Structure 1
Amino acid sequence: MDQLKAMQYFAEVAQTSSFTAAGKRFDVPASSISRRIADLEQHLGATLLNRTTRLVHLTEVGQEYYAQVKSILDQIERSETYVRQYQSEPQGKLVISSMVGFGERILIPLLDEFRALHPKVVLDVRLSDEVSQLNRDQVDIAIRGGYAPNERVVAKKLMNNQFIPVASPSYLEANGLPIKHEDLKKHQGLFFRTPMGPTPWLYQQNGQWHDVSPKPTLISNNGKWLIARAIEGQGLLMLPAWVVQSQLESGELVSLKLDPPLQISDGAGFGVYILYETDMYRIPKIKAAVDFILARAAQV
């Protein structure tokens, strides 16, 4: 029995719930698919599929086996892709996951330039503030804000991600300028929500961290909405400096100067990172994209 082929057939049936669909996928009769999986079940001494006249679905042990088989087949596919693309020009689908703000403001304009340089690369760009895992989510490159992760991946810093407090001139005229950190508690606040929750407003003094967050009037993970409401004078806002740079330059928002500066965490090493797996960097499309993003982000 060709166990690898049987595993491929089984995985396809598990995904489609159909011997016929699996047969079309591999260009073999449905009966061949069914027979090969029956041989696999006999080899394992377990029933993987419940079969009826209309439906095929996984048994409990079949579900567990499918999860492990899928992981094995994904790794085989990755290994074959690496071998095929080794020493070739950048080509094929490249999956990039990025946090929304960075993706919209910085990454996507850069990727238009990258596509012109590498027309054989098909970009699959996914913007989300949810944390993605390269292996689990089948992502080639991920861009995250925060700290360098503990995953077994390469993490290179693209830029600082220092959050700064800002407000519109109209808000400050109506509500006064915060002079001391504790003054912030008396103001209205617009809060950016990360996957870990709304960002706190912290400062450190004499080795102690203090939370001086204003009173929340709006919480969202949509930076554009928060910025628009801040410009309208609905509250103080704290976002990364690169996110509000254009509004600061236009005068729609002004930066609040406090010493020591505010933070959203009591840790060090906060930044925007590009992540990829070490062994995948040798694939031309991934190497080309990583090198390009690192070089161009440094110029932003």
Structure 2
Amino acid sequence: MSRHLPPLRLFGVFETICRTDNLRAAATALNVSQPAVSQSLRQLEDHIGARLINRNTRPASLTAEGEILLRATEDGLGRISGAVDEIRRHQAQRGSNVTVACSVGVATLWLMPHLESFYCDHPDVQVNVITSESGAPTIAGDVDIAIRFGDGKWSDGTVTPLLEERIEPVCTPELAERLTLTPERLHAAPLIHVDVKDPRWLGWTDYLAALGLGRPTHPVQLRFSNYVQATQAALAGRGVALGWRTITGGYVSEGRLVAPVEATLTPPSSFYAVTAFDRAEDAATRRLLDWLASLSGGPSDIRHPGRRAGT
């Protein structure tokens, strides 16, 4: 359709002529000469194949064809102008908003507790957090940064290492004292399981097998569908959970959970931030990404609401 249209600039000239009522005023408004305006009008008429302005009247008036085109031109230019304004508002809003996608556990137990400190340093940036069940949420829609657990070999954005995971058993200090566990007896403890489909998130069976510590044998085997529920069960003293640094590290640093035995495993996967290519150079996104990378210290750096670094 666009191949049959006159050059779009001619519609702007035509609208200006109609709005200012004469060629001289239109030339002044467009900052061009009056002959240039007349030539543009003739070009538009030649393209359409009809006279748009009746030059035999004083003042000049629109022909019937001119009336039809003016209504369409005003409507079209108005819609384009509105679209441009909407895009500019959207861009201005995005300039101070960053959307992060991550799993429920990472959002609840790692990202959200830290955001207060980010806002203290960057009060002009609004962070929107959306969660998914997957440990590797996609870059889609308005997502600027996806926090993923994996090998870092993704091609849909700029990949930045964040945290190397660490896995260790955790429970309340009271339960640890009562159980008096050793690594060899860990399989016989009341274990809290998390049933996830992602094989990168090791469960108790894989963890114990990797360290050569047998298979779970205790009659009490609590099972949950996510790490947030499992962590709450561990905090309630209901059993021993498989603690992941990003999920339980803050509670360990606070002393609410402890490692009843020294049996640490470093999985092959780690946490990464994947930034959408078209947002990698955005100032607000860059500030959040730099801040996320700065959180890659040990578990003592991971705290929860109500606890500030250094307190």
TM-score when scaled to structure 1? 0.55
1:212 pairs with 2:215: yes
1:127 pairs with 2:137: no
- The superposition leaves residues 164-197 of structure 1 with CA deviations (integer Å, 9 ceiling, x where unpaired) of 11233443455441341xx333222102344416
Q: Which amino acid aligns with 1:191?
A: H
The alpha carbon displacement at 1:288 in A equals 2.4
Distance 1:224 1:276 in 2: 26
Secondary structure of the residue aligned to 2:247 is coil
Q: Which residue matches 1:234?
A: 238
1:199 pairs with 2:202: yes
Bigger strand share: 1
Distance 2:169 2:144 in 1: 34
The alpha carbon displacement at 1:281 in A equals 0.7
Written as runs of structure 1 = structure 2, the 5 A alignment for 1:82-231 is 91-115=95-119, 117-130=121-134, 131-135=136-140, 137-172=141-176, 174-180=178-184, 183-196=185-198, 199-201=202-204, 202=207, 212-213=215-216, 217-231=221-235
Distance 1:293 1:123 in 2: 12
Contact preservation (8 Å) 2:149, 2:270:
yes
Contact preservation (8 Å) 1:90, 1:118:
no
Contact preservation (8 Å) 2:188, 2:216:
no
Secondary structure of the residue aligned to 2:272 is strand
Q: Which residue matches 1:46?
A: none
- The superposition leaves residues 4-25 of structure 1 with CA deviations (integer Å, 9 ceiling, x where unpaired) of xxxxxxxxxxxxxxxxxxxxxx
- The superposition leaves residues 62-88 of structure 1 with CA deviations (integer Å, 9 ceiling, x where unpaired) of xxxxxxxxxxxxxxx9xx88xx96xx9
Give the paired residue count. 211
TM-score when scaled to structure 2? 0.54
Q: Which residue matches 1:64?
A: none
The alpha carbon displacement at 1:273 in A equals 1.3
Change over 3 Å in CA distance of 1:173–1:281 after alignment to 2: closer
The alpha carbon displacement at 1:141 in A equals 0.3
Q: Which residue matches 1:286?
A: 285
The alpha carbon displacement at 1:258 in A equals 4.3
Query: Highest CA radius of gyration, 1 or 2?
Result: 2
Structure 2: gaps (5+ residues): 4-83, 303-311
Distance 1:167 1:143 in 2: 27
Percent identity between the two aligned chains? 19
Change over 3 Å in CA distance of 1:149–1:274 after alignment to 2: same
Written as runs of structure 1 = structure 2, the 5 A alignment for 1:247-262 is 247-258=251-262, 261-262=264-265
Distance 1:275 1:231 in 2: 32
Structure 1: gaps (5+ residues): 4-76
Q: Which residue matches 2:55?
A: none
Change over 3 Å in CA distance of 1:154–1:251 after alignment to 2: same
Distance 1:2 1:139 in 2: 33
The alpha carbon displacement at 1:162 in A equals 0.7
